[in-house]
Amino acid sequence: MPEVRLHPNTDALLDYSAGSLSPAQAVAISAHLFYCPGCQAKTRTLNAIGGNLLANTEAVSVAVDCLSDVMAQLDTVDTALPEKREINNAAPQGDRWKNLPPLVKGLVRDSGISWRHLSSSLRVARLPVGERRFELALHQIKAGGSAPAHDHRGLEITVVLHGSFSDDEGVYHQGDYITREPGHIHTPVATANTECVCLSVLEAPIRLVGRFSRLFNPFLSFMPV
């Protein structure tokens, strides 16, 4: 596997470690970490800062029965909590799902994937994470196909999961974490011999009312409320 070249900035990893990212953003960072040992090490260090802050924090005494309360729950907890949610959908099959972060595989399995065509070479499947501000989705561009040129009303984060694509600024490979600021216009093109699958986080645009409102961002599969 070629080395990942594009990484989230340190501020984003810090927010991830501190737990202040929205779920969709956190999923994108997690997906990148799966491919990137360097950012994993950095995240461990950032977590260790949190751990040290916890260790040095001023203790506040807990109620007298706090411990007995918890002790009483220990045995029931072990049996009462199911290990994992039951999953009915089969794991997705095929090349494009092979080296995917387990988190993304889990999301795909849990929600089932339903592709929607945005153009002849681009399709999108939404991954619901209970989020209002950002939409999390998979985008798939056919080998050699291109996505329509689009501009961004909001922030766009892309993590390449399979294959590669390019735009006027470069070529992006598996694991690369690409941030596009609002106002940026680009035309992604998949590499000729393989299709490209990306995880993307799109900031919801201001809601526009009217039947053509969707045209403002062809990448969004829904208009957030």
Partner 1 sequence: MIAASNKMSFDANKVVMLAEARSDNWSQLLMKVGADRDKAAFAVLFDHFAPLLKGFLMKGSALGPERAEELAQETMIKVWRKADSFNASKASASTWIYTIARNCRIDWLRREAKSSRDIEAEDIYDFGDENPSFNSLVQMRNRDKIRENLAFLPPEQLEVLAKIYFEGKTHSEVSLELGLPLGTVKSRIRLALNRLQVRMTAAEARQDA
Asked whether position 109 contacts Zn ion by CB under 5 A, the answer is: no
The tokens describing 189, both together, are 């093109």
> Which of 187, 151, 182 has its CA nearest to residue 167?
187
Whole-Å CA distances, 196 to 48, 122, 144, 157, 207: 36, 10, 9, 15, 30
CB of residue 95 vs partner 1: minimum separation in angstroms?
Answer: 20
CB of residue 39 vs Zn ion: minimum separation in angstroms?
Answer: 3
Find the binding residues for Zn ion in span 136-195 (CB under 5 A).
none
Nearer to Zn ion, 7 or 123 (CB): 7
Asked whether position 19 contacts partner 1 by CB under 8 A, the answer is: yes
CA distance 156 to 25: 10
Asked whether position 82 contacts partner 1 by CB under 8 A, the answer is: no
Find the binding residues for Zn ion in span 27-46 (CB under 5 A).
36, 39
SS3 132: coil
Residue choice 1, 64, 81, 90 for contact with partner 1 (CB under 8 A): 81
Phi-psi region of 68 (alpha: psi -120 to 50; beta: other; left: phi over 0): alpha
CB of residue 181 vs partner 1: minimum separation in angstroms?
Answer: 14
Asked whether position 30 contacts partner 1 by CB under 8 A, the answer is: yes
Asked whether position 87 contacts partner 1 by CB under 8 A, the answer is: no
Nearer to Zn ion, 27 or 204 (CB): 27
**Torsions phi, psi for 29 (to 5 deg):** -65, -45
Nearer to partner 1, 23 or 92 (CB): 23
Residue 120 CB-half CA count within 13 A: 2
Residues 145 and 122: beta-carbon distance below 8 Å: yes
Residue choice 1, 2, 64, 78 for contact with partner 1 (CB under 8 A): 78
Helix (H) or strand (E) holding 123, with range, is strand 122-126
Residues that bind Zn ion (CB under 5 A): 7, 36, 39
Residues that bind partner 1 (CB under 8 A): 7, 9-11, 14-20, 23, 26-27, 30, 33-34, 37, 40-63, 66-67, 69-71, 73-74, 77-78, 81, 101-103, 106-107, 128-131
